[in-house]
């Protein structure tokens, strides 16, 4: 491979001079600058980034970790974050899958150590508290998004899961529902736990006794199958509403229920979470979803800007809890 030394030789100057022109520094006479540029062009020279990173102790790259890159909700974040880095800063963002369900032999954090200036972790499965502590002790800049993890020195951005769930359940109760089920993905999820708290508190505050939570997994198909099963309980137990952990689950559930002849919202009300654009695909068949919108874009912007500030020690950054908005649309109505 060709190095800075080769360019120096080709152009008849020193490595120092080559370095200066590569980095667009002033104080190089035009004639030499030109020679260097030509040599670079001629030999297809690209600086070796590991060498540069080592010398500069910075990389102009940040790492973004998510549980599963192709998961819908996270994909939006990934998209936004990428664009913000692109548009506003001269930073590259790289992405890593962090699927905790498959015990991975790859230690990304070790792999990536110091080859990155900052870290963004999205979703609670993307990182552990212990890992965060190690990063902080190493002086890294890190922000976590939607994890519920609180570690000194890492900036945390989250959403008011408890309150907004309370609000959604209250909405159902106000409509007259008495038997409302809470559907989550995985019990271990802090998200689930927070929302579960909101669910139970609302039941309690309004004196409802029916109290049932179920975790069904992350996939559309899980929700669809569960809808099929749930139909029975609707008939037997007089269930009239469900609060779902995301929109994909809500759509799956609705499809499963309707398959069994239970119409939404006439016979049954459903609340989703996330307000995914994806749901457009079903828009002509399923009523617009009552759901909860997270201020995703704002969160992404704040995440990127804060990380940037942290990396440049610009100023103190502060944790933030964003408020979600209950979007009442057409999958919830009075029970009949």
Site residues (vs DNA, CB under 7 A): 1, 3-5, 13-20, 22-23, 26-29, 31-32, 45-48, 51-52, 54-57
Cβ closer to DNA: 50 or 321?
A: 50
The reply on whether position 94 binds a second copy by CB under 8 A is: yes
Cβ closer to a second copy: 109 or 143?
A: 109
Site track for a second copy across 62-81, x = CB under 8 A: -x----xxx----xx-xx--
Among 6, 32, 37, 82, binds a second copy (CB under 8 A): 82
Sequence-distant (6+) residues with CB within 8 A of 145 are 77, 120, 121, 122, 123, 157, 158, 299, 303
Cβ closer to a second copy: 91 or 245?
A: 91
Cβ closer to a second copy: 138 or 321?
A: 138
- Compute the distance between CA of residue 120 and CA of residue 106 in angstroms, rounded to an integer: 18
Tokens representing 286 are: 């399923």
The reply on whether position 139 binds a second copy by CB under 8 A is: yes
For residue 64, which phi and psi values (nearest 5 degrees)? -120, 120
Cis peptide leading into residue 265 (ω within 30°): yes
Cβ closer to a second copy: 116 or 180?
A: 116
Reduced to 3 states (helix: H, G, I; strand: E, B; else coil), residue 143 is strand
Secondary structure (DSSP) of 204-272: HHTT----EEEE--SSHHHHHHHHHHHHHHHHHH---EEEESSHHHHHHHHHHHHHTT--TTTT-EEE-
Query: Taking CB within 5 to 8 Å according to partner kind, which of DNA, a second copy, none is near residue 26?
Result: DNA
Reduced to 3 states (helix: H, G, I; strand: E, B; else coil), residue 310 is helix
Query: Taking CB within 5 to 8 Å according to partner kind, which of DNA, a second copy, none is near residue 102?
Result: a second copy
Smallest gap from Cβ 21 to a second copy, in A, equals 15
Question: Could you tell me how many residues make up the chain?
Answer: 336
- Compute the distance between CA of residue 264 and CA of residue 140 in angstroms, rounded to an integer: 49
Cβ closer to a second copy: 29 or 106?
A: 106
Query: Taking CB within 5 to 8 Å according to partner kind, which of DNA, a second copy, none is near residue 201?
Result: none
Sign of torsion, CA 190 320 96 131? negative
Smallest gap from Cβ 35 to DNA, in A, equals 9
| Longest Cα separation, the chain | 88
The reply on whether position 235 binds a second copy by CB under 8 A is: no
Among 61, 228, 326, 328, binds a second copy (CB under 8 A): 61
- HSE, CB side, 13 Å, CA atoms: give it for residue 110: 4
Among 259, 298, 318, 330, binds a second copy (CB under 8 A): 259
Residues that bind a second copy (CB under 8 A): 1, 44, 46-51, 53-54, 59-61, 63, 68-70, 75-76, 78-79, 82-83, 85-87, 90-97, 99, 102, 104-106, 108-115, 134, 137-139, 220-221, 224, 248, 251-252, 255, 258-259, 278, 280-286
């Amino acid at each position: 491979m060709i190095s800075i030394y080769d360019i120096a030789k080709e152009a008849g100057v020193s490595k120092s001079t080559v370095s200066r022109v590569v980095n667009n520094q002033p104080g190089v006479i035009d004639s030499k600058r030109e020679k260097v540029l030509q040599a670079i062009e001629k030999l297809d020279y690209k600086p070796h980034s590991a060498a540069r990173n080592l010398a500069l102790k910075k990389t102009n790259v940040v790492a973004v970790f998510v549980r599963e890159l192709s998961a819908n909700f996270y994909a939006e974040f990934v998209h936004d974050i990428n664009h913000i880095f692109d548009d506003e800063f001269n930073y590259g963002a790289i992405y890593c899958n962090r699927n905790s369900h498959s015990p991975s032999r790859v230690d990304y954090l070790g792999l990536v150590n110091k080859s990155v200036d900052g870290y963004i972790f999205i979703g609670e499965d993307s990182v552990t508290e212990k890992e965060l502590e190690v990063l902080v002790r190493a002086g890294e800049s890190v922000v976590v998004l939607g994890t519920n993890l609180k570690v000194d020195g890492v900036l945390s951005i989250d959403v008011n899961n408890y309150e907004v769930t309370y609000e959604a359940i209250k909405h159902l109760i106000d409509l007259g529902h008495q038997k409302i089920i809470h559907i989550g993905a995985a019990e271990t999820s802090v998200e689930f736990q927070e929302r579960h708290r909101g669910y139970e508190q609302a039941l309690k505050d309004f004196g409802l006794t029916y109290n049932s939570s179920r975790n069904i997994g992350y996939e559309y198909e899980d929700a669809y199958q569960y809808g099929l099963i749930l139909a029975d309980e609707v008939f037997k137990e007089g269930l009239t509403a469900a609060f779902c952990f995301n929109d994909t689950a809500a759509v799956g559930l609705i499809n499963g229920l309707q398959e069994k002849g239970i119409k939404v919202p006439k016979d049954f009300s459903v609340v989703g979470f996330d307000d995914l654009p994806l749901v457009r695909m079903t828009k002509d068949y399923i009523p617009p979803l009552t759901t909860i919108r997270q201020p995703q874009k704002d969160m992404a912007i704040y995440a990127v800007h804060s990380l940037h500030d942290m990396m440049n020690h610009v100023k103190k950054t502060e944790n933030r809890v964003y408020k979600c908005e209950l979007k009442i649309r057409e999958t919830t109505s009075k029970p009949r």
